[in-house]
Amino acid sequence: MKLKHIALAALMATATAASAEVKIALDTAPDPKVSGTYNWVQAFGKTLTDAGMDVREMPRDSVGNEAEKLDQLSTGLLEVSLSDVRSIAQVDPFIYGLRLPYIFDDAAHMQRALADGEIFERVNDAIAGQDIMLLAIVPLGPSSGIITTDAAVRTPEDMADLRMRALDDAQIAMYKAWGTTGTIVPWGEVPAGLQTGVIDGYLNSPFVPIAFGQTDFVKNFADSRTIIPIRAVIVSKMWYDGLSDDERSAVNEAVTKGNAATQAWLDEVSASSLTALEDAGVTVQRLSDEERGAFRDLSRQVYDSGLMPAEDVKVWTDLSEASR
């Protein structure tokens, strides 16, 4: 069985390098007006196309869920995926430092920290055995705010009676620190949960209710700027290692251009995204620095909650300060 796996891997590596087709699994609709990750994909794909590679975009969910995409990446059936950071964290939880609330001022600060701390090298050493690579961390949109169906939120006290959708245990701990309740709900179940009252809101970028058609029942957005919503660009290590030197150089250049395109888009829409919400009928609570500080101060409890090893938290906080 092991010999069969090795033979299959060798065959797939050869086939992938020969065809040079790059299938990219999208995480959002292909709309550059509302998706930071699609801005990244456009610039990344164009650079590869200009280098003579065949690029094919795979619509969201067309190649399976997160676990299925990861399996396809690890076997070389899929080359590139815009994936949930949890796909990396299940192998190397260190990456969860990116989700510490208020760890970064903005996306540019995050990218400086990733580069200065050589985070990609560290993570890729840890996940190499899974035959995958982390190629980039891409903001989905401007910094996350508090999205709710009915309640207008300006203070943590305004959330006391709310039940919020959480991504993971770290967000549950954050909501608890704020004095409210969190429950883990898969993204696909969020619209129904909001409409039935199972949950009262969630934390995400201001474009998300627009991009996912939720503005009929999402009615408030508090600009808390808590966390940068991100996707992990994960690639097949088998595919990457099988590229020629010229192809690999093109891929690396494409990452740089993708990152630049997303940052340029963020610079353009950080303010207009709030106006877009208002145009869609959502009331925006533009918090003052003092109001935002109340959430930031309470969020510090998450850093000491034990959900991440203390030494990992220190690495992230030291890196954040050094790159500020």
**How is residue 238 written in tokens?**
């088998």
Element (DSSP H or E) covering residue 48: helix 36-50
Residues 250 and 306 in one domain: no
Measured between alpha carbons, how far is 287 from 281 in angstroms, rounded to an integer? 19
Please give the DSSP secondary-structure letter assigned to residue 158: G
Residues 107 and 221 in one domain: no
Residues 312 and 214 in one domain: yes
Transcribe 208-253 into DSSP letters: HHHHTT-TTT--EEE-------EEEEEEEHHHHHTS-HHHHHHHHH
Residues 109 and 171 in one domain: no
Residues 91 and 163 in one domain: no
What is the mean pLDDT, run by run of 10 residues, along the chain of 324 residues? 41 46 96 96 98 97 95 97 95 94 96 97 97 98 97 98 93 96 94 97 96 95 97 97 96 98 96 95 97 97 90 97 95
Residues 89 and 157 in one domain: no
Residues 125 and 166 in one domain: no
What pLDDT is attached to residue 11? 43
pTM confidence score:
0.90
Residues 222 and 235 in one domain: no
Residues 191 and 246 in one domain: no
Residues 236 and 285 in one domain: no
Q: What is the CATH number of the domain that holds 154?
A: 3.40.190.170
Transcribe 66-119 into DSSP letters: HHHHHHHHHHTS--EEEE-THHHHTT-GGGGGGGSTTS-SSHHHHHHHHHHTTH
What pLDDT is attached to residue 74? 97
Residues 93 and 218 in one domain: no
Residues 249 and 213 in one domain: no
Into how many domains does the chain fold? 2
Q: Quote the domain boundaries for residue 182.
A: 145-227+272-322
